[in-house]
Amino acid sequence: MTDALIVVALLLVAGAATAAVLNRDPVRQALVLSFLGLSLALLFTFLQAPDVALSQLAVGSAVTPLMILLTVRKVRRRPGSDDGADKPAGRGR
Amino acid sequence: MDTARLLPLVVAVPLLGAAVLVATGRRLPRLVSDIVGCAFAAATAALALLVLFRAGHPGPGTYPVEWVGGWRRVGIVLVGDPLGAGLAALVSLLVVTVLVYSWRYFEEPPRRHTGSFPALILVFQAGMCGFALTGDLFNAFVFFELMGVVAYALTGFRVEEPKPLQGALAFGVVNSLGGYATLLGITLLYARTGELGFAQIGRRLDADGPDGLVLAAFVLVTTGLLVKAAAVPFHFWLPDAHAVAPTPVCMLLSGVMVELGVYGVARVYWTVFSGPGGLSHPDVTRALLVLGVLTTLLGAAMCWRQRHLKRLLAFSTVAHTGLFLIGVAVLTPEGISGTALYVLGHAGVKAALFACVGVLLDRYATVDEHELFARARELPEVGVLFAVGGLALSGLPPFASGLGKAAAEEAAGHTAGWLPALYVLVSAVTGGAVLRAGLRIFAGVGRRPGKEEGGPETTGEEEPETGGRLGRIPVPLLAVPAALLAASLALGVIPAVASAVGRAGALFTDTGGYRRTVLDGHAAAAPAHLPPHWQLTGILLGLLSAALAIALATLAVRRPVHTGAAALFAPVRRLQSGHIGDYVAWLVAGAALLTVLTVPGIR
Amino acid sequence: MSARARLWIFLVGAAGFAVLFAAACIDLPAFGTVPHPYGVRAVRAALSHHTSNVIASVNFDLRAFDTLGEETILFSAVLGTVVLLRQARDEHRKDPEPAVVHPRVRRFALLTLACALLVGLYVIAHGQISPGGGFQGGVVAATALHLLYIAADYRALERVRPLTLYEIGEAAGEAAYVITGLAAVLAGSAFLANVLPFGTLAALSSGGTVPVLNAAVGLEVTSGIVVLLARFLDQAVEIEEPGEDDGGPWDSGDSGGNGDEQRERA
Amino acid sequence: MTVLPYPVAGWIFLIGVYGLVTSRNLIHAVGCLAVTQSSTYVLLLAVGYRDGGTAPVFADAPTDSRVVDPVVQALALTDIVVGATVTALLLALVVQLRKRHGTVDPDALSELKG
């Protein structure tokens, strides 16, 4: 029974990791990363590691995606900027 | 107190200092926080030197071993063998000089965060000392990451500038990836042996023969350490980071941190993989030798082509790391002790050169060799220091870099007859590049260099790191490079240093002795060894490379443009693209290359 | 280097890595079979010190030196982030506008906040006897505080979050850890030795110095993560760059965040 | 029993590195680095697992019950902290990089070359 759960969780983790890489938009990636954190926490629980699962839940599915989202918000806030074709920016000098 | 008890304090004292600085930093005036930082760094240096003197005492070869928390064989072990303790002492002393140098350096510390720069430097010191002293693989990884995290932050310290941020990011991504590779390797070793201490893993590995798992573990662990050591093709981050970090940080990065990567490779090999259950000596020699030769040639070639002075020095660090790697690759006590002395001398010289460039940056707001042409004629003192540094870098006797080079090239010569020629060539080219820049900048010799065609290039306009441009040069900015060069000279002429380093190398390569000392508490007697010493061939080769360096520099300033050479180097220079994706791809390819080079080792 | 060349170099390297890793996997002991000598010794050692959560014992007793390094990594990363995300010379601050929050959202968020804070503190306090500890609890508590951003607005968050205090708290946590270690040295034992009485197994005060170090880590992590998130929020909400909101050199469109998305569409 | 965990760890490592190599957005690259790191957690815990073992937390006096390896769990905890802090630091660098270079596309960063 546990074995089957571990296998399922492993596949979930592998899938989530792949999805997190292939989602090139950081906002969507942050959400997938959050899901990856969740599935890792699940896997760790099945592997009898509640301490690690708890950390992973707190860090991997909350703090890291939150930081990514805040970064995106900062980066996108600037009114007017690149849409890929970037200009050399103000250097702040 | 028992010397062994002092080992963890070498890590704990600077951490306490950092915590004090952060807690009180925003209220302290600049002067006080600088003094507090220096005091903690100096106390650590005193502790490290005390350990070194007790451990390096000639006589029965015992050295201090401390199980942190008193957990014999269950906890983490710190080992104060002369080489590790010596590196900790070198790190601490260099940190003290760097803090003195930065005394007047950042004219304007970040607002409301006065203590943060010295605090970060202190944590950096703790990380490097811990890495040098630890006898536990996972603990080494922790300190590896600690060094990394602090170094990324310090590299990007000047957030108003664009270049440091790019360099710090490349540094961070590539180093973290290397760290994760190392951790995978550590996990594989744990799966096999169920142990984490160097000595315990080594003993249990020797119970079975080498197989694919041991090979994979070696490759993965070494990959991370070689990233830190900036060996080709893991080196791309180094010039980008070292060229843009604040000068005091450059002194530490180039002077000791990169060398700690080489130390890590040597330490892990000798304690874990050198027994019958590890990898065979000829295969490891071949792998490290190939990487070392590639590194040193590429570093020297790129160093010669630079006009951005800090980048020039950074590539010279790459070239010298290659030489250190060759010294380790020959897997003899003489190779280790020669390289150790070379590292000692190089640290002082390279830090002094960076210190001189820092003065130029703060006075002229550029570190571009062409733009600075003849402008620094008004700073003869700096010019003299810079020239002496260039000569010492090329291995001029009797500097410690010269003696170390002589000893290392002799040891390497026993493995392959052409290696000494490589040492001479690379020392001459890197020293020559420094001298060429010195001749142009401080003496205005030769023609004003014109615009070069073709090839990617980094020019050297930068913001000064002090508040404004310096008028008068403050005393510490001159005293520090002078003291560093003097120290490098002294280390080369005092015979006691060479004999102590020789003994350290012999104890370092005594795998059985290390394991017995750590696990069984038996004193390891230093095996027979030949300490580095001045020999006629060494002196002559040192003089030869210094003469070659001068000749190259003179030639270069007389005939500044070599169209053919520029075209020749353009593809190599294009590899250094500043693109993080490229660097990561090279890292993976490098791990594969390392696999291919070591794979015969398991048959 | 072109994207294609980069990909090829990666693929060659990845193939090598895959072969290497596969070779290692073949030689790995089968999943879930072999006990490790170190693990066995650790369990015995933890029980000898009356610490029921062996992981807490490994973290704060057997390998407390690792945890010192780990906390220092956090400490220096927070310090580094504070330095990197400082207000640059050419930037200015803008007061965030007070937000209008639906009362139901507010009530819910405040309730969650209270619960999460309690859970965080509970997890910290029970580190040595049940899963969890200073790190996990600290992260939960710190993240919980930021629910205020949803519940009220940024200014309310700033009021309950005197950053200076948290920065000092972080340094105090780090210092407490080091000082606990040094106290053992002064008591004539090894650095970070467990010199306090061990108490009874599974009691809140069991484990000697384990709860002390655990509390130090809890303090440091809570404060550290609060400072970390605060810095990112600060950048996202308050700090303005030159050229922002006043035309500047930027004129149109969204930002680089999803540059490649837009490129793909184009 | 299955050997699945080991190849899964290898796959996560490689796919994360693939993301880093092909990334066109530095924020995405930092996310990929976090993915890469999760391979180390998976491998660590897989190595420490024992069939039928329970979590190494004892409610009462020592029993003979089989437990999984506590050491790797402690290592994984340390690893998670390291990962989170590195992510934070790199994201901070990206924020500033964006201000000074005006882009988060690694292809557009061109100040350091040669």
Q: Where are chain C's structural domains?
A: 12-241
Spatial contact of A92 and C242, defined as CB atoms under 8 Å apart: yes
> Which CA distances in Å does B12 have to B48, B58, B75, B163, B349?
12, 28, 17, 34, 29
Pair B5, B35: CB distance under 8 Å: no
Which chain A residue has its CA at the smallest distance from B463's CA?
Answer: A93
Domain hosting D20: range is: 5-52+67-102
**C178 close to B13: Cβ distance less than 8 angstroms:** no
pTM for the predicted model, two decimal places:
0.93
B463 contacts A93? CB cut-off 8 A = yes
Q: Which of A13, A71, A82 sits opposite D103 (nearest CB)?
A: A82
Distance from CA of C259 to the nearest CA of D (A): 8
pLDDT at position A90, please?
36
Tell me the per-residue pLDDT of B241-265, one tens digit each, with 9 for 90 and over: 988 899 999 999 999 999 999 999 9
The dihedrals phi and psi of C111, each to the nearest 5 degrees, come to -65, -50
Flag whether residue B213 sits within 8 Å of chain D, measured between CB atoms.
Answer: no
A93 pLDDT above the threshold of 60:
no
Measured between CA atoms, the residue of chain A closest to residue C260 is A84
Name residue C239's beta-bridge partners. Answer: C93
For residue C52, the Cα-to-chain-centroid distance in whole angstroms is 24
The domains of chain B are located at: 1-134, 135-449+474-575+582-602
Q: Inter-chain contact D112–B152, Cβ cutoff 8 Å?
A: no
Q: Which of C90, C140, C262 lies nearest to residue A58, judging by beta carbons? A: C140
Contact D21 B584 (CB under 8 A): yes
- B353: nearest Cα among B300, B314, B318: B314
Q: Could A93 and B162 be called an inter-chain contact, meaning their C-beta atoms sit closer than 8 Å? A: no
**pLDDT number for residue B267:** 96
Structure-model confidence comparison of residues B444 and B318, the more confident one: B318
Supply the DSSP symbol for B109.
Answer: P
Nearest CA distance, D70 vs chain A (angstrom) = 8
The whole-angstrom distance between residue B367's C-alpha and the CA centroid of its chain comes to 22
Min Cα distance A90 → chain B (Å) is: 10
Query: Which stretches of chain D drop beneath a pLDDT of 70?
Result: 1, 60-64
Enumerate residues 6+ apart whose C-beta is below 8 A from B27. none
Residue A81's pLDDT is 44
Element containing residue B14 per DSSP (H, E) = helix B3-24
Q: What is the pLDDT of residue B452?
A: 54
The mean pLDDT value for B15-41 works out to: 88
| Model confidence pLDDT, tens digit, residues C174-222 | 999 999 999 999 988 889 888 888 887 767 777 788 889 999 999 999 9
Whether B243 contacts chain D with CB within 8 A:
yes
The string of pLDDT tens digits covering residues B457-477 is 677 667 777 666 777 778 888
Q: Is the pLDDT of residue C263 over 60?
A: no
Does the structure show a pLDDT above 90 at B2?
no
* Contact between D74 and C65 (Cβ < 8 Å): no
pLDDT tens digits, residue range C5-33?
Answer: 999 999 999 999 999 999 998 888 888 77
Does D107 fall in a domain?
Answer: no
Q: Which residue of A has its CA nearest to C235?
A: A74
Q: Write down the mean pLDDT value for chain C.
A: 81
Q: Which residues of A fall within a CB distance of 8 Å from B463?
A: 93
Q: Which of C49, C63, C82, C196 to mutate to test the interface with B (most CBs of B within 10 A)?
A: C63
Q: What is the mean pLDDT of chain B?
A: 89
Q: Which residues of A touch C261 (CB under 8 A)?
A: 24-25
Dist. CA C51–CA B529, nearest whole Å: 48
Residue C121 reports pLDDT greater than 60: yes
Most confident among B278-282, B311-315, B559-563 (mean pLDDT): B311-315
- Nearest to residue A17, comparing CAs of B163, D41, C122, C82? D41
**Both tokens of residue A22?**
């292939």
Name every residue whose Cβ is closer than 8 Å to that of residue A23 and which is 6 or more positions away in sequence: A29, A32
User: Looking at residue A86, what is its pLDDT?
Assistant: 36
Tens-place pLDDT, residues B84-135: 999 999 999 999 999 999 876 665 555 667 788 899 999 999 999 999 999 9
B65 bridge partner residues: B79
- Please tell me the distance in Å from A91's CA to the nearest CA on chain B: 7
Chain D residues touching residue A72 (CB < 8 angstroms): 27
Cα angle B25, B362, D102 (rounded to 5 degrees) comes to: 75
Q: Which of residues 33-62 of D touch A (CB under 8 A)?
A: 34-35, 38-39, 41-42, 45-46, 48-49, 53-57
What is the three-state SS of B490-531?
HHHHCHHHHHHHHHHHHHHCCHHHHHHHHHHCCCCCCCCCCC
- Is the CB of B577 inside 8 Å of chain D's CB atoms? yes
- Indicate whether D112 belongs to any domain: no
Tens of pLDDT along C144-181? 887 777 666 777 777 777 888 888 899 999 999 999 99
CA nearest to A93 within chain B? B160
pLDDT of residue D1: 53
Q: Is C84's CB within 8 Å of D5's CB?
A: no
Give the pLDDT band of residue A78 (cuts 50, 70, 90).
Answer: low
Rounded-to-integer distance, Cα B350 and Cα B317, Å? 8
Plot region of B190 (φ>0 → left; ψ -120 to 50 → alpha; else → beta): alpha
Higher model confidence: residue B454 or residue B494?
Answer: B494
Is a pLDDT exceeding 70 seen at residue B501?
A: yes
What's the half-sphere exposure (Cβ side, CA atoms, 13 Å) at B453?
Answer: 4
Number of independent structural domains in chain D:
1
Chain A CB contacts of B162 under 8 Å are 91
Q: For residues B419 and B412, is the Cβ–Cβ distance under 8 A?
A: yes
User: Are D25 and C260 a contacting pair at CB < 8 A?
Assistant: yes
Say if D57 falls within a structural domain: no
Ranges A44-58, B383-397, B554-568, B585-599: which has the least confidence: B554-568
User: How far is C-alpha B323 from the geometric centre of its chain's CA atoms?
Assistant: 12
- Tell which of A21, A51, A59, A71 to mutate to test the C interface (max C CBs under 10 Å): A51
Q: Comparing C-alpha atoms, which of B395, B392, B382 is closest to residue B480?
A: B382
Which residues of chain D have a CB within 8 Å of the CB of B588? 17, 21
Q: With beta carbons under 8 A apart, name residues in chain D contacting C5.
A: none
Q: Residues B334-351: pLDDT tens digits?
A: 999 999 999 999 999 999
Answer whether C192 touches B (CB < 8 Å): yes
Residue C245 has what pLDDT? 47
Q: Over the stretch B141-186, which tens digit does the pLDDT of each residue have?
A: 999 999 999 999 999 988 888 888 889 999 999 999 999 999 999 9
Give the pLDDT score at B119: 92
Q: Is residue D59 part of a domain?
A: no
Contact A13 D38 (CB under 8 A): yes
Question: What is the mean predicted confidence (pLDDT) over A64-80?
Answer: 81
Mean pLDDT lowest for which of B35-39, B590-594, D105-109?
D105-109
- Among partner residues A58, A67, A75, which is closest to C257 by beta-carbon distance? A75
Distance from CA of C127 to the nearest CA of B (A): 19
